[in-house]
Every structure is written in C-alpha cells, then in structure tokens.
Chains A and B, each alone.
Chain A
Amino acid sequence: EAQVTQNPRYLITVTGKKLTVTCSQNMNHEYMSWYRQDPGLGLRQIYYSMNVEVTDKGDVPEGYKVSRKEKRNFPLILESPSPNQTSLYFCASSLWQENSPLHFGNGTRLTVT
C-alpha cells in the first residue's frame, strides 16, 4: 500500500531534550516536506527536500533540522525543543512539487512541557 509513515503518533517531552520524528514514504517520491498545524494558522511549511541531499527552509524553520540521506526517509529533528513547538506535525511527499498533490502521513502530536 502506497503510504507515508510517521512515528511516533504521540510524543510528550520536556524542554531541551533532543527528539527525532521519523518519516518514510514507499512511493519513490522526490519531494518531501514537513508542516506544522496550529489552530487558526493552517499548515505551515517547516522544511522541504527536492531530492537526496537537497533540503531548504520553509516558512517556519527556526528550531528544526532535517536530513535527506535516502530518498524514502526525511526525519525532523528538534535539537532543543521548547514549549512553542508544541503542535501537530505532518510529513508529506509528492512526485514533484509543481502540479502534483501532497500525500500526508498520519501526523505526530508533540507536547513539550
């Protein structure tokens, strides 16, 4: 089954404790991206990747890191999480960015206390 898999689904952590949210897709998509969803703000792009070893900042990249060492994986790293990073996170992929819909993972609800 074609899908984007995120883990974990739920994560509660404390300020400053490094964490990684994993994202993997099995559709051979070149493009992958991370979004955060907050009430009233829609989905805001954190980072995106056009292909292996090619990443760039989205609209809200501060406090996040990503890597794209393999085509299928695009982990999101929070080196020192803070409470304002409490949010619902979605990973997404597509064949190519222009004129191609995004396929979303099931989301990761992160709480930073």
Chain B
Amino acid sequence: GENVEQHPSTLSVQEGDSAVIKCTYSDSASNYFPWYKQELGKRPQLIIDIRSNVGEKKDQRIAVTLNKTAKHFSLHITETQPEDSAVYFCAATYTGGFKTIFGAGTRLFVKA
C-alpha cells in the first residue's frame, strides 16, 4: 500500500545551524506534498507545501525540494531558532484515493 518514510526520527541542532528532514513516498501518482509543524500539545499546522509540477519552493527560512523521479522530498530550515523546536510531519496526497499519508514525524530540538 501507500507509504511515506521520514528520516530522521529525532534531530538536534545548534541555534543558527540548518536542519534537513527527508521523506520518501511510494506511490508515483501522488501530486501534493505538504509539511506540517506540531508544537507540544498543539495541532499540526501547515508550514509549506509543494506540488508535483514544481521542484523547489522557498518561504523565508524554510524550503522544500521535490525529486519526482526518486520519489524524495525534503524540508530545509536555515538559521534555526529555538521556536523551531517541534515535531515535523511530511505527507503525500494520493490522487484517486482521497488520502493523505503522513510520515512518522521528526522531533526537532534547537539548542540555544
């Protein structure tokens, strides 16, 4: 069945460093890849998304890249700050199945 693998499960960086989270999806028909941030005790919220006809998208310190051939997509956070500490989920939406499949999540710690 459809699957999204996310790595690493835990990531610890120093404030100001960059953080990269990687995901792999299984169904080549998926065409929408959102990233959600979940702070402790709160709901997941969209931080950035990318569609299959785009290879890269950037929003201030956050960027997402997509390699459709390899079925990989990645989240890049530059100049990390303590408030970036949270759990990040990647997801893939599968056409025709009306499903969003989530990765298992990455817990990011940004040390001040």
Which positions in A face B, CB cutoff 8 Å? Answer: 31, 33, 35, 40-45, 48, 50, 56, 58-59, 90, 97-102, 104-107
> Interface stretch among B41-49, B61-69, B72-80?
B41-49
Chain A residue, CB-CB nearest to B105: A42
Contact A106 B42, CB 8 Å, known A42-B104, A98-B31: yes
Count of inter-chain pairs, beta carbons less than 8 A: 58
Which positions in B face A, CB cutoff 8 Å? Answer: 1, 6, 9, 31-32, 34, 36, 42-46, 49, 51, 89, 93, 95, 98-105
Chain A residue, CB-CB nearest to B100: A102
Contact A45 B99, CB 8 Å, known A99-B32, A102-B34: yes
Contacts of A31 in B (CB 8 A): 98
Contacts of B98 in A (CB 8 A): 31, 48, 50, 56, 97-98
Contacts of A99 in B (CB 8 A): 31-32, 51, 93
B34 touches A101 (CB 8 A): yes
| 5 A-B residue pairings within 8 Å (CB atoms) | A59-B99, A90-B44, A98-B31, A98-B32, A102-B46
